[in-house]
Amino acid sequence: MKINRILWIGLILFFTSVSALAQAMTLSVDATDAARNMIHSKLAIPVKPGPLTLFYPKWIPGEHSPTGPINDLVGLKLSAGGKPIAWRRDDVEMFAFHCDIPAGVAVLDVTFDDLSQPESTASAKLARIKWNRLLLYVQGMSSDVISVKASLKLPAGWHFASALPIASERNNELQFKEVSLTQLVDSPAIIGANFRKLSLSSTGTMHELDVMADTTAALELKPETDSNITNPAKTESAKKHSARNSSSSTSRS
């Protein structure tokens, strides 16, 4: 009977810790200083008491080497309930940060800034929001099982575009729907003062081309280019015609 009680207690503690870590973390991104090549990040990460290692994204989708720009992470602070929590960087793995979560703490608050090199990810009128630059996650957990609720605050008068589903939008603040960490990192956003949206389809699944530029003049297209983009049926017909001519030429040669 005593062994059964110990087993049940162990199972309860195990599922409690798993449940805690399975809750969605929140990511609040303040891009109001994007024109100064500075973006502010604030995370609330579900945790359980004890040793914890946070990891900065190292391998990025579409890149085939560990190119996570960790050198641009500055001002890292950890806290819980308003009280600071000490952290230390791993001696070997520079992308890992260790800390100890005090008893009774269920949420770890993390803040830091992303400082990019001038003209690399932002200018005075536009910026790219790469979510992998703006977060840490619990090491050892698959990005597919980590859920994230992200929000984004824009500079006044700026627009945005992203594949992320939107939960709500108010003034210059956006709240996105909960997604996996994998989907978040794979869905960057572009923001800017000068914006143009071009529809690429008229029926079925809707597709669009979102364009940001430093000037309104840079958004202008040549008439023939604009016509081809904004007239999907014409573009598709031209493709079919080109394919038929190519096939015909091949058969005659």
pLDDT in tens, 19-43: 445 689 999 999 999 999 999 999 9
Averaged pLDDT for residues 219-233? 74
For residues 147 and 229, membership in a common domain is answered with no
Residue 14 lies in a domain: no
Residue 60: per-residue pLDDT: 86
In this structure, of 127-131, 227-231, 233-237, the range with the lowest mean pLDDT score is 233-237
In this structure, of 40-44, 198-202, 230-234, the range with the lowest mean pLDDT score is 230-234
Residue 128 lies in a domain: yes
Residue 117: per-residue pLDDT: 85
Averaged pLDDT for residues 72-94? 97
From residue 130, give the alpha-carbon distance in Å to each of 59, 199, 200, 218. 13, 24, 24, 23
Average model confidence (pLDDT) for the chain?
Answer: 85
For residues 205 and 179, membership in a common domain is answered with no
Residue 3: per-residue pLDDT: 57
For residues 56 and 176, membership in a common domain is answered with yes
Residue 222: per-residue pLDDT: 81
For residues 106 and 142, membership in a common domain is answered with yes
**Over 60: is that where the pLDDT of 245 sits?**
no
141: its two tokens: 């957990």
What is the widest separation between alpha-carbon atoms in the chain? 87
Give the range of the structural domain holding residue 211, as residue numbers without chain letter.
Answer: 198-252
Residue 126 lies in a domain: yes
Asked whether the beta carbons of 52 and 106 are under 8 A apart, the reply is no
From residue 104, give the alpha-carbon distance in Å to each of 50, 80, 81, 108. 10, 10, 10, 11
Residue 5 lies in a domain: no
The Cα 109–Cα 42 span in angstroms is 7
13 or 143, higher pLDDT: 143
Contacts of 181 (CB under 8 A, 6+ apart): 135, 137, 143, 144, 146, 147, 148
Q: At what angle do helices 232-252 and 223-230 cross, to 10 degrees?
A: 100
Residue 199: per-residue pLDDT: 84
Residue in the block written with tokens 């575009």? 161
Condensed to tens digits (0 to 9), the pLDDT of residues 168-190 reads 999 999 999 999 999 999 999 99
For residues 217 and 168, membership in a common domain is answered with no
**Over 90: is that where the pLDDT of 2 sits?**
no
For residues 34 and 117, membership in a common domain is answered with yes
Number of domains in the chain: 2
For residues 173 and 242, membership in a common domain is answered with no
For residues 168 and 207, membership in a common domain is answered with no
Residue 48 lies in a domain: yes
Averaged pLDDT for residues 148-157? 97
For residues 173 and 203, membership in a common domain is answered with no
Asked whether the beta carbons of 113 and 33 are under 8 A apart, the reply is no
For residues 171 and 230, membership in a common domain is answered with no
CATH number assigned to the domain comprising residue 69: 2.60.40.3650
Averaged pLDDT for residues 215-222? 90
Condensed to tens digits (0 to 9), the pLDDT of residues 94-108 reads 999 999 999 999 999
For residues 115 and 63, membership in a common domain is answered with yes
For residues 144 and 219, membership in a common domain is answered with no
Residue 118: per-residue pLDDT: 83
Would you place residue 18 in the very low, low, confident or very high pLDDT band (cuts 50, 70, 90)? very low
Residue 90 lies in a domain: yes
**Over 60: is that where the pLDDT of 85 sits?**
yes
Strands 147-153 and 25-30, bridge-based pairing: parallel
From residue 61, give the alpha-carbon distance in Å to each of 53, 93, 207, 228. 22, 20, 22, 31
Domain C-terminal end among 145, 168, 188: 188
Would you place residue 92 in the very low, low, confident or very high pLDDT band (cuts 50, 70, 90)? very high
